[in-house]
Structure 1
C-alpha cells in the first residue's frame, strides 16, 4: 500500500548497512590519463575535529602497469541519512603527491568530510561517491562526539589541561556481511491488536519492502529509473484467541512487486507520486478453505501539507488476473476500485483508512486505523504507538471474502 512517506520505526535507529568493497569495483576511474585506478570508499572514521569525518579512499589499478593517480582537491559525495540525501563535498589535500599505484595493486588516500549542522550522533548513514565517480558506497554509524571533560583546577586557580585518553577513537564501522540491509524498510503498518467476542479477536500484521536496485533511498529525481523497482511482503494473521487451543482463523500472505515514484512537489504544499504493481494474495490452505487472488493495480497519490499537518489521498484501480477458481465471485464483494486516505501529524494523531467498493453491487469495505505515540502520553523510552483498528464490510480476510463483518480492536504498533 502506497504511503505519503516512508513508514518508520518510532525513534528506532535503522540497522547498520555494510557496503563491501567489492560492490564498487566497477566504479569509474579518478582523473588521470589511462583510467586505470578506480576509487572505493574503504573506511570512515572520526576526524580530528568535531563534525568532521576522515574518509579513506582506496585507489585500485587493474591494468598491467603502474599508474600515478591524481586525486582532485574536491570530490562530490552524497550522504544519505534516514532516507534524506544530501550533496556534500569531500576535501582532499591539493598538496599531496599523486600516489603511484602498482599494476594490480592499490593505494590509500585520506580526505575530510564536514558534516552538515543538525546531524545526530549514532545515526546510521550511507556515503556515496558522486559525479563521474558514482558507484562506490559505504554504510556506517556516525560516531558519538566525545564529551568534553571539566577542566581541573591547579593550585593558584590555573587550569590544568586534561589528560588525553589512551583508548583509540571508536571506528565508524559497518555490519559485516549484510551489504544490502539498508534497502530493507517497513511497508504497511506493523502492529498487534485485540478485540474480544468474535472468531478473529486478535489481528497481527507484519510488512516490509525491499529496494531491488541502487543505493538505499536513491529513488526518483536523477536516480536510475530501475531503482524504483521494489519487492514487498505483507502477512496478516487473524487469531481466534477465545477458542480452545486458540487457533488462527486465517493467515493471508501478500507478496507483491511494484514500481514506486516518490512524491514530488508540484506546487506549494502539494506533492504527487504513485506506484504500479502486481500483487498475489493467498491463505496457504487447500480444499474448500483455499483462497487466492492476483491483481494488477495502479495508485497515484496526492499529499497536501498545512504546517505539520499532512493530508493524503490515493485512489486505487485494480484488475484481477489469472485463475480465481477458489473464489470466482470475489470481484462481487471487492470490486475494482479503492481509496487510501490519511490525515495526521508525524508526532501526533494519525487516522488512516483503506476502502474497497463495487459500484454495481454496492458491496465493499472500510479498514481504518488510528494511532498516537505512546511517549506523548506517558514518560517512557518504549518505542510504540497506541493503535486502534476497525473494519466494516465484506472480507476482512480472504477466507471470509463473502462474509459481512464488523470488528473493533486495540493494541500497539511499531510502524504506522
Structure 2
C-alpha cells in the first residue's frame, strides 16, 4: 500500500515535468517556425534591382560632355524603390596618360529615389566634360558598380560634331543601309575606323599606349626536320602623331615607325645559337580604310614606305637590303566574320651589294592571302616567286584562339606553320628549305 501511495504522490510531479518539457519544445518549435516564416517572407519580399551601364557611342566630340547612361530595372514581381546617387565615378585611361578619376553629375529632374513597378526600367544619365588631356581612344572603367569597361574615341577635329552625330546615327540605325548612309554623311567609312576588325597589317587589339600596336604576327614555334629549331618573331608599330581626328587621311597623321625581328634558333647545336636573325625597321604611311568602296570589295587599305632588312653580320655572311614598297589591301565579305584578305606588297631593291642576286630567289612581290574571322580560325599564306626558274617560297600560318580551347582566361593563339622554298632567313636566301613544319604560340596574328 505504501508503494502505491508513494507512486500516486510521484505521478503528478512526473506529469508536470512532461508538461513543462512539452511547453519548452512547443515554444522552440514556434520560435523556429516564426523565424523561418520571417526569413522566407523577407527573402521573397526583397525586391532586387539590376543596374547596367549602356555602351556609349564609339566616337565622341571633345566639345560635348562624356555621357554615361545607367539602366535601373525591377526584375522581381514586386514594386521597387531604388536610390539614385547624385554622382558616379569612372576612371579614364588613354594614350600615355595614367588612369584618372572623373565624377559625372546626375541629369537634372531625376529624383533621389525611383519607384519602379514589376518589370519596369528607367534610364538615368550622368555627364561631365572631357578632361583636356584626354586624346585618342580612351578606356572608361566604372568605379563602385559592376559593369564592363567601354572604349571611346575622342574626336577633336574640325568636323567633330558632325562625325559624332553620324556615329550616333549609325549605332542607332536599324538596317545596314541606314548605317552606311549615316557614315557617308560626313564622308567617313562604315565600321570602326580606329580599330577595324580583320586589319591585314595589325591586330584589332589596342593597349594602354594608344600610339603602339601590333604589326606583323608575333609568335614562337618549334619544329624538327633533320635538326630541331625554333622560329621567333617580334613586331610592333608606332603611330608617330596621334591626330585630333582619328579618321584623318593626312600624311603626317598616319605616319608609322615599325620594327620586326625574325630569328631562326638552332636547338640541335651544342650552344643552341641563333643561326640567323633578320632586323627590319620601317617607316611608312598607312590607313586601314582609304574610304574607296566598290561592289567588288568591302574595304581597301593602303601602306607605302621604305623598309630595311639586315642580319647584323659581317664578311661573307653579311646580308642587307633596302626596299621602298607599296602595299594595297583588299578585303572581301563580312569583316566581323569569315572573310578573304588579299594584300600584295610590291617593292624594289636598293643597295644589294652583299646579295645582288636576291631577286632571283625572292622576286619583287610578297602576296599575302588570308581567310578567317577576327574571333575564330585564320589561315594566312605568303607567296613569293623569284625571277629565275621556279625559285620562290610558300609560308603558311594557321592560328586559332586559345580562349576557345581552354577558356576565356587564356589569351593568344595556337600557331601552326609550314615553310617550303627559299629565303626563310636572309643568310640562306639562296639555299632551298624543302619543308619545315612548326607548332607554337602566337601573341598577335
- Please indicate, yes or no, whether the TM-score normalized by the shorter chain is above 0.5: yes
Normalised-by-shorter TM-score class: 0.5 to 0.7
Relative to its length, the structure with more strand (as a share) is 1
**Which residue of structure 2 aligns with residue 225 of structure 1?**
251
Q: Which deviates the most, 257-266 or 206-215?
A: 257-266
Provide the secondary structure at the position in 1 that maps to 2:154. strand
* Residue 417 of structure 2 corresponds to residue 373 of structure 1: no
Shift of 1:333: 0.6
Provide the secondary structure at the position in 2 that maps to 1:195. strand
Tell me how large the CA RMSD over aligned residues is. Answer: 3.3
**Deviation string, structure 1 residues 44-94 (Cα, Å, up to 9, x no partner):** 6141457645236669xxxxxxxxxxxxxxxxx997368xxxxxxxxxxxx
* Residue 144 of structure 2 corresponds to residue 129 of structure 1: no
**Which residue of structure 1 aligns with residue 17 of structure 2?**
none
**Which residue of structure 2 aligns with residue 340 of structure 1?**
368
Counterpart CA distance in 2 for 1:317 and 1:58 is 42
Counterpart CA distance in 1 for 2:228 and 2:310 is 18
Q: Out of 96, 99, 102, which is 1:18 matched to?
A: 96
Provide the secondary structure at the position in 2 that maps to 1:266. coil
Provide the secondary structure at the position in 2 that maps to 1:377. helix
Counterpart CA distance in 1 for 2:132 and 2:410 is 42
**Deviation string, structure 1 residues 209-236 (Cα, Å, up to 9, x no partner):** 01112339925xx453321211110001
Relative to its length, the structure with more helix (as a share) is 2
* Residue 308 of structure 2 corresponds to residue 251 of structure 1: no
Moved over 6 A (4+): none
Pairing 1:301-380 to 2, within 5 Å after superposition: 301-306=329-334, 308-322=337-351, 324-380=352-408
Counterpart CA distance in 2 for 1:123 and 1:199 is 48
Provide the secondary structure at the position in 1 that maps to 2:293. strand
Where relative contact order (Cα < 8 A, 6+ residues apart) is larger, the structure is 1
**Which residue of structure 2 aligns with residue 294 of structure 1?**
322
**Which residue of structure 2 aligns with residue 143 of structure 1?**
none
Q: Which deviates the most, 261-270 or 304-313?
A: 261-270
Provide the secondary structure at the position in 1 that maps to 2:253. helix
* Residue 309 of structure 2 corresponds to residue 235 of structure 1: no
What TM-score results when the alignment is normalised by the length of structure 1? 0.61
What TM-score results when the alignment is normalised by the length of structure 2? 0.57
Q: Out of 389, 407, 416, which is 2:436 matched to?
A: 407
Q: Out of 287, 300, 309, which is 1:261 matched to?
A: 287
The number of equivalent residue pairs is: 282
Q: Out of 34, 45, 53, which is 2:102 matched to?
A: 45
* Residue 417 of structure 2 corresponds to residue 385 of structure 1: no
Gaps of 5+ in 1: 1-14, 21-41, 60-76, 83-112, 135-179
Q: Out of 80, 103, 112, which is 2:137 matched to?
A: 80
